[in-house]
Amino acid sequence: MNAVDVVLQDELERLMDRLSAGVPVGSLEATTVGNPTLRMRLDDMEVSLASARAALLEDYGRWRRALDDLENIWALTAWAGAPSASEQAAEYAAPRAA
């Protein structure tokens, strides 16, 4: 489970705690019978929430890959721009000779 998944799971658990404390037992069944439009809206919102969660996790995956790519490019930059051993020796030798 990645960091974003942990946050999303914590938020979902807090929502479930609030719902269990405030929604009477049997409300879903009563809504299904008494107000099918509201039940349909509830189902749609649950699908929307699941889709938003999937999109966040996918975007976070892209974010992590972009971070890795940036780190790799910086490593290549450092490697390509690093002075050779003989250049380093010359750099350190010059100040000591003075």
pLDDT value at 95 more than 80 = no
Give the pTM.
Answer: 0.71
Helix (H, G, I), strand (E, B) or coil at 23: coil
34-57 residue pLDDT tens = 999 999 999 999 999 999 999 999
CB 38, CB 45: distance < 8 Å: no
Residue 71 is encoded by which pair of tokens?
A: 């780190």
Rounded CA separation 14/2 (Å): 19
Domain hosting 55: range is 3-97
Number of domains forming the structure of the chain: 1
Q: How far is CA 18 from the centre of its chain?
A: 24
